[in-house]
Every structure is written in C-alpha cells, then in structure tokens.
Structure 1
Amino acid sequence: MHCRKILLVLLMCLVASVVQAAEPIRLGMIEGMSGAFANAGVSVENNLRFAIEQVNARGGVKLPDGRHPLELVVFDSMQGVEDALQQFKKLTDQRIPFVLEGNSSAVAAALLEAVNKHNQRMPDNRVLFLNYSAVDPVLTNEQCSFWHFRFDANADMRMHALVQVIKNDSRAKRVYLIGQDYSFGRQVAKAARQQLAVARPDIVIAGDELHPVGKVKDFAPYIAKIRASGADTVITGNWGNDLTLLVKAAKDAGLNVKFYTFYANSLGAPAAIGDAGVGSVRAVAEWHPNVGGDASDAFYRNFRVRYPQPKDDYLFLRMDVMVDMLVTAIEKAHSTDAVAVAKALEGAQYKSRFHDATMRASDHQLIQPLYVAVMQKLSDGGIRFDNEGSGYGFKTERYFPSATTALPTSCKMQRPN
C-alpha cells in the first residue's frame, strides 16, 4: 500500500510537470485595472484566475498534442476606449487567441469593431471575443458578430426580470430612472420605459437622468431630485463606485425608496447601503451565494478559501461558466483556431448541479437562469452568507428559469466562408 501511494504521488507530479511544460493557451483580459473602477477590474481578474486554476488543477486543456495549461494575461485599459484599442493591438501582436472584456459596453463595442476588422485582415491570427459583463443588447442584436460571445444576460433580459418583480409590487407608483451616461446607461433607461409601459402602464416615470461615468463624487444633488420627484422606486444600472456613492448618498439623506439594481450585491454597495437596504434594495444576477444547495455552497466556499479577504468577496458564476465552456469548445474543436472554437461554442450547453446554460447559436447570447434577490441582514437569520463581510447579503425573491429569460434577437449573423 505504501508503494502504491508513492507511485501515485510520482504520477501526479509527472502529470503536473507535463502540463507546466506544455505551451500555455493564453487568454488576454483587457480591463480597467487602474482609475475610478480599478476595484471592478481586480474583481474580474480574481474570478478569472479562480476559474483558470480549477482547469489547470485537473490537468489543463486536452488537445491532440497533449494537455495545455490556461494562462491569463492582463492588459490595463484604464477603462478607456482608446486605451483598450491600444491594448488590443498588443494582445494581437502577441498572438493571443482569446480576448476577454466586459466592464464597459462602450469599450466592448469598440473592441468588437476592432476584432471584426482584425480577423478580416489577419486570417492567420484571428481572435475570439469573450464578453462576461458588457450587457448593451446591440452587441448581440444589430452589432452581433460571429467572433463575439456574451456570457452575461443582456440589459433587456436583466430589466425584464426586475420589471416582473415591480409588476407585482402594488406600492410602486412613481419610478425614477438614473444611470451612467454611455450606451449601457441609456439602454437601461430605454428598456425600463418600454417594459414598464407594457407591464405596468399605470406607473409614472417621475424622472430620467444620466450622469457622467466615474466622475461624480457627491450624489447628494441627484438624491435631492429623486426626493423632489416623489418617486417611491429607483431603477439603476450603475455599477462600481457610481453605484456605491449613489446608494450611500440615499442612505445619508434618509431617502426611503426601493432600489432595483443590476449590481447592488457587490463592490462595497451592501456596506454603503446598510440597514436602509434591508427589504428595499434588490439586485438581479445569474447566481448569488444564498441560492441554496450543497453544490452552490461548496462553489462559494472554495472561492472564499482562495480569496479570504472581505474586499475580494465578489464571485461571478458566469465567468466560471465562460471558462468551462471555452475549454470544452477548444477540446471539441481539437484546436484554438477561432473559427473551429466558435462553431463548437454555438449551441453549446453547460450544466452543473446548480446551474444550466445554453449558448444561443443565432446571436451568441448565453441563455441562463436569473435571480432577483432582496437585501437582508445576516444577523436576522434569513441568509447564510453576507457580502464582503458587511453583515448584509441577498435572499432570492424570484427565480427565472432559462426558458423565461430568453428574449428575441434581431441578429443577422454573418459567418466566415
């Protein structure tokens, strides 16, 4: 028995050494790692590394010439379009086959155009664009591309889930829309207006305001406008510091409204909201730590072991799904060739013990369940996990299966010959 253990250890060491010696498959992440939204960039990097480490721990990616580890290469765009395009040039010069981005739909749109042009000019150095968070619907509608895959629900899909909850809230009479002044923020406001008009035509839009992205340091004037409007409900797609400062200003002013958000469950927002958010602040996501079940709990606990600091407590299931689906597609294609991997991703399915998803072939939009969760206080006993050590977490209010989250697409996909 002792000899068997020694042989097993030697075999594991041999496998590990082979994986390390093999040429890595590189994933190029272009994200704002400095500036106003650096915390969001760091959070993405942590999640991607967590997913990549799991792949490498099981031996890497299996190709005909052996197993290859994944390697993450980080490019700092400083959250700017021009900077992102410069970083994309560096990425392609290094012949990295996969570009990952998501924290800005404006950056994503520019990168998508750049990817399309690059792949046309350089057929021997094509890349695939994997989008984990840029949710402007045009990216899988009017601007859809064979080279682009989105692993997050788009803004219309997220808004649809929120509106279904608002629809059943008899106390919602006057809604205030506030968001960041770029393509994503404008689309969130547009979707809210259109969907509320259908689901709750009695609701009054009490205000509709956009503010500069990442530049507002004091949201008190905006909160004063919301109060003056008589709104009882606020819808916002704000993220990062723009969300944290918004909800903090509302708390400081004692503004008693319900917040329906895309991202209130992260990046300092729960602590900033505090008791004022209990029962009144909601967020929509593909998963959250309190969805329940042994498999989900284990997934979350493993992440917390890897990143024990409260400031790092922001886990995106969709990034784990993205990396897993990419690896499966590469193995199916027997190659990292962009065309072969894209075809393998089209229609691909993901299934774990607590999540399922399908990559819709017609527009490359991932179809997956969504949760609308409401903020709770950990000490009240209704949730098992809080967020970022804040003492506040989220509890599922509505669950939407995959079949109910899919919305029609206007994509007319142009595929390579």
Structure 2
Amino acid sequence: MRKLTLAIAVIVPMLGHAASAEDSLKIGYIDPLSGGGASVGEGGLKTFQYLADELNVKGGILGHKIEIVPLDNKTNPQESLVQAQKAIDAGVHYITQGNGSSVGAALSDFVTKNNSRNPGKEVLYFNYAAVDPSLTNEKCSYWHFRWDASSDIKMEALTNYMKDTASIKKVYLINQDYSFGQSVRTDARKMLGAKRPDIQIVGDELHPLLKVTDFSPYIAKIKASGADSVVTGNWGQDFALLLKAAADAGLKVNWYTYYAGGAGGPTAIKQTGLDGQVFQITEGFANSGNKAAMDYEKAFRAKVNLSLWYPRAVNEMRMFKAAAEKANSIDPVKVAAALEDLKFDVLDGGQGIMRKDDHQFLQPIYISSFGKLTESEPFDEESTGWGWHLVSRIDTPQAMVSTTCKMARP
C-alpha cells in the first residue's frame, strides 16, 4: 500500500505536467465576420485557421495546440473592445487583428491599459494589416507588434516607383475617411510633392468607410478631372465597387493601390479591362518567383480554396513560434521580449527584422501589376485568368522609414 501511495505521488505531478503541455494556446481573431468587411474578415479567419492547423500537425507551440477564437467586430472600434474583453475573460492572452486602423488604435490602447492594470495577466496584440503609421509612432505600445508594412513605408516605395514613370502627370487621390485613408492621402501629397513636384494633384476625395454602394459619382469626378492615375488605399468592397463603377463608366487610368488583391478586386480589374494598369504594393504575392512561397501558395489554395492574401500572417505565426521557443515560454511578457529585434527569413524570401524601437516588422516588399498571365506565372486570381506580375522588389534596408516612437517599457 505504501509503495502504491509513493507511485501515485510520483505519477500525479507527471500527469499534471502532461495536461498542462497539451492545453490549447488560444488566439483571439478580432475582425469583421459580418457587414461590409465580412469578405476580407472571413478570408483572414480561414488563413489563420490554416496556419494553426499547420503548426498543430508539428506539435503546436511548445506542445500547446493553437486554437483560433473567431470574434466578429463588424469593423467597429467599440465592438472590438467588447470582443477583446470577451476573449480575455475566456483566457485568451494573444489577439490578432488587421482590418481597420481605427480598430487597431482602439485595441492597442485597450491592451496597454489592461496590462498596466492586471500584472501577471498580460495580453499581446499581433497586428497583421492595420497600417496607420501612428501605431508605431506617437501611439506605439510595447504590447503591440505589426507584421504589415506601415502605410508610409508602402507609400515611400510606391512613390519611388511613380517618380520614375514619366507618363504620370495628373493624379487623383480617393480614400476611405478614417485614420488609414487619411494617412494615405497625406503621405501621397507629401512624397509626390517632394519627388515629382511637376505632378498635379487634380482631386483629393475621402468617403465613408464601407458605406458607399454606388461609386459612380466619384468616378464621374475622376473622369472630369483629367487624371491619368489614381492613388487609393481602399480595401474590401470599397475597392471592388470603385473599380466596378470605373468599368461601367469606361474610365481607363492607372491605379496605384494597397489592397487591389483583396476579395472582389481582381474580378473588378478584369471587368474593367485594365491589363497592366493596376499596381499593388505587398510583402509578397502568388507569382513572386520564390519557389518555397509558390509551393506554399499551391498547398494553401488546394485546401482553403482562396488565394493567400496575407503572407504576413504566415510570417506572424512562424515568428510567434520562434519567439516562444527562444523564450522557452508562452508567457506574453517573455514572448514580447523575445520578439524584439528578432530576425526572420520571410515566406517570400529575404530576411526581415522586428524593430525593437517601435515593434514594426521591416521586410522586403513588392510592387506588382495585374493582367494576363505568362507561361512562368501559374496563379490566377478569382478564376479571371489574370494574375499578378512582378514589377519591382524593394529589399529590407530600402523598405524603412524612421520612427518617432517613445515606447514605455514594463
């Protein structure tokens, strides 16, 4: 009996340790799953679920299976805070979000305050697509990490390409009326003015976010302005419907965009007949030419039946695993410390670094154009028969802007 008691005393702690190792590691996915942003939100959810499955097959993160917890924020900052609190109450210590910088700012502030009030119960916010520069400048937070390039980094690269395109004479700016759209218009004006002062800004329009159902009045203004090029940060239905209205009106201009590859965008471009006239800046794309990334794209499409819109989400989850292994812990405080200045080989090739000063991931970025495919380009988009072509690659050292972040550290 005494031997049995001793055996149980030894076994019980071991069982407890095994159970702990197998506990799920929950990641709260806070993005629109209803309303005007639902198409991009659903695509992001499927992406993160795929990434979780991929890591779980290999043992998860330090033996913890990853569970993606979907939380619908309807692209609304206040609703996002409700969902974030719900996640925390359910034991979530990591949240990820991307669609809407106004949401991103609200979540960053919420997490920062939560962590100061609840030491030992910290939460990290992993940002995969909210690109307002303020999030890594005046509003920076130790508890926020961004894997997408900020909008000023993207505009710096985009205007470097545009300045050498002599045919650009008149540019129209049209953007969504919230923090991100406002930063796109501000950066475009400033950078084009400095690099190509001869270019005329012939229109500058802001419209409500995900509320416009008919863009024909806006297209009529663009047409009347005589613009040869449009710069827009529009995403989701605001891009697809904008291009649809352009097709209906027969508007043939060049488009310089951030998110033309999102849901509905490629179909609208094909319908407009803009072969080689729509440009996008991203951290990767399907026909990038990188074999490992293209193999990944093929496997992803076969299982998810979607294009990989977010290579940065792949980088985010892989770096999360690397940081946890470096820290030998899934404690958010230790993972945050391990992420700082972490160098990482990104999906589409080359090395990136999570800059310690502001928690902005710096990485190679690409300019691509959309049109008819060549024999070396296997991936079309939305069954259009058209796909993305490489125009320019900007390596990490050239894909940087300075930061004004004065980070308060725990």
Counterpart of 2:273 in 1: which secondary structure?
helix
What amino acid is aligned across from residue 44 of structure 1 in structure 2?
G
For 1:392 and 1:19, how far apart are their aligned partners in 2? 50
- Shift of the alpha carbon at 1:315? 3.2
What amino acid is aligned across from residue 328 of structure 1 in structure 2?
A
- Shift of the alpha carbon at 1:228? 0.8
Percent identical: 42
The answer for the alignment partner of 1:211 in structure 2 is 207
Counterpart of 2:323 in 1: which secondary structure?
helix
Partners of 1:95 and 1:125 within 8 A in 2: no
What amino acid is aligned across from residue 407 of structure 2 in structure 1?
M
For 2:252 and 2:375, how far apart are their aligned partners in 1? 24
- Shift of the alpha carbon at 1:187? 0.4
Q: 1:187 aligns with which of 180, 183, 187?
A: 183
- Shift of the alpha carbon at 1:353? 7.0
Structure 2 unaligned runs (5+)? 1-17
Counterpart of 1:124 in 2: which secondary structure?
coil
Q: Relative to structure 1, is the Cα distance of residues 365 and 21 closer, same or farther in structure 2, using a 3 angstrom cutoff? A: closer
The answer for the alignment partner of 1:10 in structure 2 is none
Deviations 1:13-46 (Å, cap 9, x if unpaired)? Answer: xxxxx89981011111111111111011111111
Partners of 1:290 and 1:383 within 8 A in 2: yes
- Shift of the alpha carbon at 1:93? 1.1
- Shift of the alpha carbon at 1:381? 4.2
The answer for the alignment partner of 1:33 in structure 2 is 33
The answer for the alignment partner of 1:289 in structure 2 is 286
For 2:314 and 2:134, how far apart are their aligned partners in 1? 24
Counterpart of 1:363 in 2: which secondary structure?
coil
Structure 1 unaligned runs (5+)? 1-17
Q: 2:173 aligns with which of 168, 177, 180?
A: 177
The answer for the alignment partner of 1:15 in structure 2 is none
The answer for the alignment partner of 1:336 in structure 2 is 330
Q: 2:398 aligns with which of 373, 388, 404?
A: 404
Confirm whether residue 71 of structure 1 aligns to residue 67 of structure 2: yes
- Shift of the alpha carbon at 1:160? 1.2
For 1:174 and 1:258, how far apart are their aligned partners in 2? 11
Q: Relative to structure 1, is the Cα distance of residues 187 and 354 closer, same or farther in structure 2, using a 3 angstrom cutoff? A: closer
The answer for the alignment partner of 2:45 in structure 1 is 45
Within a 5 Å distance, the mapping from 1:47-62 to structure 2 comes to: 47-62=47-62
Within a 5 Å distance, the mapping from 1:240-251 to structure 2 comes to: 240-251=236-247
Deviations 1:199-228 (Å, cap 9, x if unpaired)? Answer: 111101000000011111110100000011
For 2:21 and 2:330, how far apart are their aligned partners in 1? 18
Partners of 1:30 and 1:87 within 8 A in 2: yes
The answer for the alignment partner of 1:363 in structure 2 is 358
For 2:242 and 2:376, how far apart are their aligned partners in 1? 26
- Shift of the alpha carbon at 1:338? 2.0
For 1:287 and 1:49, how far apart are their aligned partners in 2? 20
- Shift of the alpha carbon at 1:411? 0.6
What amino acid is aligned across from residue 198 of structure 2 in structure 1?
D
The answer for the alignment partner of 2:307 in structure 1 is 313
For 1:186 and 1:371, how far apart are their aligned partners in 2? 23
| C-alpha RMSD of matched pairs (Å) | 1.5
Q: Relative to structure 1, is the Cα distance of residues 382 and 225 closer, same or farther in structure 2, using a 3 angstrom cutoff? A: farther
What amino acid is aligned across from residue 392 of structure 1 in structure 2?
W
The answer for the alignment partner of 2:372 in structure 1 is 377
What amino acid is aligned across from residue 368 of structure 2 in structure 1?
A
Deviations 1:375-396 (Å, cap 9, x if unpaired)? Answer: 1113x54632111212111101
Aligned length: 391
Moved over 4 A (4+): 18-21
For 1:143 and 1:19, how far apart are their aligned partners in 2? 39
For 2:198 and 2:346, how far apart are their aligned partners in 1? 41
For 2:20 and 2:259, how far apart are their aligned partners in 1? 37
The answer for the alignment partner of 1:3 in structure 2 is none
What amino acid is aligned across from residue 77 of structure 2 in structure 1?
V
The answer for the alignment partner of 1:236 in structure 2 is 232
Deviations 1:275-316 (Å, cap 9, x if unpaired)? Answer: 6221110011000000113212111011012113xxx32431
- Shift of the alpha carbon at 1:47? 1.1
Within a 5 Å distance, the mapping from 1:159-170 to structure 2 comes to: 159-170=155-166
Q: Relative to structure 1, is the Cα distance of residues 266 and 353 closer, same or farther in structure 2, using a 3 angstrom cutoff? A: closer
The answer for the alignment partner of 1:278 in structure 2 is 275
The answer for the alignment partner of 1:4 in structure 2 is none
Partners of 1:266 and 1:387 within 8 A in 2: no
For 1:293 and 1:150, how far apart are their aligned partners in 2? 23
Deviations 1:72-92 (Å, cap 9, x if unpaired)? Answer: 111111111111111111111
Deviations 1:296-343 (Å, cap 9, x if unpaired)? Answer: 2111011012113xxx32431100100010111112222222221111
Q: 1:123 aligns with which of 101, 119, 124?
A: 119
Q: Relative to structure 1, is the Cα distance of residues 209 and 129 closer, same or farther in structure 2, using a 3 angstrom cutoff? A: same
Partners of 1:271 and 1:392 within 8 A in 2: no
For 1:61 and 1:337, how far apart are their aligned partners in 2? 12
Using the size of structure 2 for normalisation, the TM-score is 0.93
For 1:393 and 1:135, how far apart are their aligned partners in 2? 25
For 2:230 and 2:347, how far apart are their aligned partners in 1? 35
Q: Relative to structure 1, is the Cα distance of residues 60 and 19 closer, same or farther in structure 2, using a 3 angstrom cutoff? A: farther
Counterpart of 2:81 in 1: which secondary structure?
helix
For 2:43 and 2:274, how far apart are their aligned partners in 1? 23
Using the size of structure 1 for normalisation, the TM-score is 0.91
Q: Relative to structure 1, is the Cα distance of residues 86 and 254 closer, same or farther in structure 2, using a 3 angstrom cutoff? A: same
- Shift of the alpha carbon at 1:58? 1.1
Q: Relative to structure 1, is the Cα distance of residues 244 and 112 closer, same or farther in structure 2, using a 3 angstrom cutoff? A: same
Partners of 1:22 and 1:68 within 8 A in 2: yes
